[in-house]
């Protein structure tokens, strides 16, 4: 009997010691985790603000620290913990702040507590191994921050029912994402929310969704069909751009904003064609009778459409409506069409000609080129027009914005004496253009911003002799120009107007009022000599910055203002040649830049 009692007593103490040991081990483990982090305390509780060892491989965030509940993981707390593979969140955690786990490249899965209310911007951005995330159905989360899961490896996502807003770029660059279950409470999909989710094949939008913002599903190249809810009121531009497999749209009954006609998205009244699915079968499309407007970017980047039949009811084609339709061959405008927006047909590489129905009071076609009715404005040039030369007819006063943009066949261009305005981006990215000749008789010409930007093979440029304005970046990056002469009459050269013309060697300005803007010739790395005549009054910030070979600059007595950075990062051999006693001569002497007097 005594032996049995002794055995029982020994067993009791063994169990008690075991329990104590387990408790002690558990407490020590929790304490070790607490000590691994940095904390901040306030009236609401504790916030984990940092990790002491960035090489940490796992993290178990405690529910309490010093008797206070853990309510948040602070901004950038685990950022760049490249080895972190797992993390456990306690129930009671309400906030994960901005960039908290940004660039945790080894993190594979995350399960969120139901108590989580706020998921900050970039919270799990660039977690390139993150394949699964789990939200409880009773999650308190209502808004997901911008870039929350940008550039992750997620394959499927089921979002919590109470989520109302998915932030800017929340799942962008999620190339592996195949399916997403959107919550019933969702009202807003922010810009770029699922941008470049290239594997996403389908998405079901909940009734109650009111807004899909700009580029929300842009470049979702596997997306095949889109069924929009009746509640949708706003569809941002580029929302489904570059979705090359998209075959059709459908719209739920009861919508007062949209409807689908043969898979094409229209306004509810059928008067505006809103969006054409880029993967729609067939190379021909007849826009339905009764359509009055084709919305901006409606056909943007459609690579299959060859033949387009526009109805007599059509009155307006908005900006960029058919931009980048590389297979489109001809366009026939009805007499009722009154407006064609900027760049409506830019980049249509196969487009050979425009025609206009008789009776039009807005447009006419001249040799297949689209003009306004009085012939004074060249509206659009067909990029696939035969021949590599074109002379703009005399009488033309304006070349519209982006009229020739991205034309890859035009090599030689002649411009008339009547020309007054070259619109913004009118010849931008005409990569084959080699020669441009303005009429020497032209007067008061304005060459718009980026008008010839990116015409990298332009070798010769004959400028007009009258006063000429070159707006910002007018000839930016025209890399093959070797010399320029600005004729007498005056020139206003805007910011970066001729910047990074890499082969430009000499510049000559003849007499007349001259203004040179900031960074006007910056990065012209082959420029060796510049000669200004009377009329130049000042040289401004980095006007010739980084012109590494520039050695000789002739300036007139009219120069009275000189920014110290005008020749920043130019050759140490740079010399200013200026009339004796002039402001420029004194400046040059002070800065040991004075060159020999100009030759008579």
Whether residue 398 lies inside any domain: the answer is: no
Alpha carbon distances (Å) from 529 to 490, 503, 509, 547, 589: 20, 13, 11, 10, 19
Which string of DSSP letters, residue by residue, matches 479-503?
TT--EEEE-TT-EEE-TTTTTT-TT
Whether residue 114 lies inside any domain: the answer is: yes
Give the pLDDT confidence score for residue 564 in this predicted structure.
87
DSSP-based three-state secondary structure for 2:
helix
Q: Are residues 269 and 289 in the same domain?
A: no
Which of 269, 284, 299 is the last residue before a domain boundary? 284
Q: Are residues 53 and 86 in the same domain?
A: yes
Q: How many separate domains does the chain show?
A: 2
Q: Which residues contact 600 (CB under 8 A, 6 or more apart)?
A: none
Q: Are residues 154 and 6 in the same domain?
A: yes
Give the pLDDT confidence score for residue 10 in this predicted structure.
54
Q: Which residues contact 6 (CB under 8 A, 6 or more apart)?
A: none
Alpha carbon distances (Å) from 262 to 217, 246, 252, 286, 447: 21, 13, 14, 11, 44
Give the residues of the chain that fall short of pLDDT 70: 1-32, 595-600
Which of 323, 354, 386 is the last residue before a domain boundary? 386
Whether residue 435 lies inside any domain: the answer is: no
- Do residues 417 and 392 lie in contact, with contact meaning Cβ atoms separated by under 8 Å? no
Q: Are residues 225 and 355 in the same domain?
A: no
Residues 196 and 174: their CA atoms lie apart, in Å, by 7
Q: Are residues 139 and 167 in the same domain?
A: yes
Q: Are residues 69 and 137 in the same domain?
A: yes
Residues 328 and 526: their CA atoms lie apart, in Å, by 41
DSSP state of 594: B
Whether residue 146 lies inside any domain: the answer is: yes
Length of the chain, please?
600
- Give the tokens for residue 100: 């908290």
Q: Are residues 294 and 280 in the same domain?
A: no
- Do residues 302 and 278 lie in contact, with contact meaning Cβ atoms separated by under 8 Å? yes
Q: Is the dihedral of CA 586, 587, 593, 596 positive or negative?
A: negative
pTM: 0.86
- Do residues 558 and 533 lie in contact, with contact meaning Cβ atoms separated by under 8 Å? no
Return the CATH number at 85: 3.80.10.10
Q: Are residues 181 and 310 in the same domain?
A: no
- Do residues 93 and 70 lie in contact, with contact meaning Cβ atoms separated by under 8 Å? yes
H-only helix segments in 393-437: none
Whether residue 206 lies inside any domain: the answer is: yes
Give the pLDDT confidence score for residue 353 in this predicted structure.
96
Whether residue 202 lies inside any domain: the answer is: yes
Q: Are strands 68-73 and 95-96 parallel, antiparallel or unpaired?
A: parallel
Q: Are residues 82 and 148 in the same domain?
A: yes
Exposure b/e, 184-203, CB count within 10 A at least 16 = b: ebbebbbbbbbbbbeebeeb
- Do residues 50 and 78 lie in contact, with contact meaning Cβ atoms separated by under 8 Å? no
Residue in the structure block whose two tokens are 């300036």: 555
Exposure b/e, 60-90, CB count within 10 A at least 16 = b: ebbeebeeebbbbbbbbbbbebeebbebebe
Q: Are residues 273 and 302 in the same domain?
A: no
DSSP-based three-state secondary structure for 141:
coil
Residues 331 and 334: their CA atoms lie apart, in Å, by 10
Whether residue 505 lies inside any domain: the answer is: no
Q: Are residues 73 and 105 in the same domain?
A: yes
Give the pLDDT confidence score for residue 597 in this predicted structure.
53
- Domain of residue 197, residue span: 2-284
Give the pLDDT confidence score for residue 267 in this predicted structure.
98
Which of 263, 284, 305 is the last residue before a domain boundary? 284
Whether residue 565 lies inside any domain: the answer is: no
What is the Cβ-side half-sphere exposure of residue 317, based on CA atoms within 13 angstroms?
A: 26
As a 3-state breakdown, the chain gives helix, strand, coil percent values, each rounded to 5, of 5, 25, 65
Q: Which residues contact 375 (CB under 8 A, 6 or more apart)?
A: 364, 366, 393, 395, 396
Residues 551 and 376: their CA atoms lie apart, in Å, by 45
Q: Are residues 77 and 59 in the same domain?
A: yes
- Do residues 138 and 116 lie in contact, with contact meaning Cβ atoms separated by under 8 Å? no
């Amino acid at each position: 009997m005594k032996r049995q009692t002794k055995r029982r007593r020994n067993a009791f103490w063994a169990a008690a010691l075991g329990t104590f040991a387990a408790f002690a081990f558990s407490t020590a483990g929790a304490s070790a985790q607490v000590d691994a982090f940095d904390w901040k305390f306030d009236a609401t509780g504790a916030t984990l603000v940092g990790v002491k060892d960035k090489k940490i491989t796992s993290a178990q965030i405690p529910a309490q620290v010093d008797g206070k509940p853990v309510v948040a993981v602070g901004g950038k707390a685990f950022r760049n913990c490249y080895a972190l593979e797992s993390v456990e969140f306690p129930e009671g955690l309400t906030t994960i702040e901005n960039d908290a786990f940004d660039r945790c490249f080894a993190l594979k899965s995350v399960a969120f507590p139901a108590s989580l209310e706020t998921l900050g911007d970039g919270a799990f951005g660039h977690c390139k191994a993150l394949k699964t995330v789990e939200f409880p159905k009773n999650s308190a989360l209502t808004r997901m921050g911008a870039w929350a899961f940008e550039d992750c490896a997620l394959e499927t996502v089921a979002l919590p029912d109470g989520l109302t807003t998915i932030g800017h770029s929340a799942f962008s660059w999620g190339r592996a994402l195949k399916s997403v279950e959107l919550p019933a409470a969702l009202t807003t999909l922010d810009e770029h929310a699922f941008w470049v989710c290239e594997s996403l094949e389908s998405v079901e939008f909940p009734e109650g969704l009111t807004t899909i913002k700009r580029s929300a599903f842009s470049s979702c190249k596997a997306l095949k069909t889109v069924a929009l809810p009746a509640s949708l009121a706003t569809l941002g531009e580029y929302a489904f751009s570059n979705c090359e497999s998209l075959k059709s749209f459908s719209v739920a009954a009861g919508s007062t904003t949209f409807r689908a006609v043969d898979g094409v998205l229209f306004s509810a009244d059928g008067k505006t064609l809103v969006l054409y699915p880029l993967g729609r079968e067939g190379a021909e499309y007849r826009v339905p009778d009764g359509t009055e407007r084709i919305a901006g970017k409606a056909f943007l980047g459609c690579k299959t459409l060859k033949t387009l039949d526009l109805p007599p009811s059509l009155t307006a084609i908005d900006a960029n409506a058919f931009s980048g339709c590389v297979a489109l061959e001809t366009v026939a405008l009805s007499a009722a069409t009154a407006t064609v927006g900027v760049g409506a047909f830019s980049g249509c590489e196969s487009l050979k000609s425009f025609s206009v129905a008789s009776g039009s009071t807005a447009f006419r076609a001249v040799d297949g080129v689209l003009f306004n009715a009085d012939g004074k404005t060249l509206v659009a040039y067909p990029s696939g027009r035969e021949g590599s030369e074109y002379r703009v007819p005399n009488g033309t006063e304006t070349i519209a914005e982006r009229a020739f943009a991205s034309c890859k066949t035009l090599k030689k261009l002649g411009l008339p004496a009547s020309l007054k305005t070259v619109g913004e981006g009118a010849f931008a990215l005409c990569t084959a253009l080699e020669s441009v000749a303005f009429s020497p008789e032209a007067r008061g010409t304005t060459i718009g911003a980026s008008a010839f930007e990116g015409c990298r093979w332009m070798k010769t440029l004959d400028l007009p002799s009258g006063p000429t304005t070159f707006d910002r970046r007018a000839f930016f990056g025209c890399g093959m120009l070797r010399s320029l002469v600005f004729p007498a009459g005056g020139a206003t050269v805007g910011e970066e107007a001729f910047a990074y013309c890499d082969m430009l060697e000499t510049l000559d300005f003849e007499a007349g009022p001259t203004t040179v803007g900031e960074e006007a010739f910056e990065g012209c790395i082959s420029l060796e000599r510049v000669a200004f005549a009377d009329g130049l009054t000042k040289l401004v910030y980095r006007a010739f910055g980084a012109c590494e070979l520039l050695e000789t600059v002739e300036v007139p007595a009219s120069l009275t203002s000189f920014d110290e950075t005008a020749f920043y990062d130019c050759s140490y051999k740079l010399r200013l040649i200026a009339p004796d006693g002039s402001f420029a001569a004194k400046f040059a002497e002070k800065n040991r830049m004075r060159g020999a007097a100009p030759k008579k």
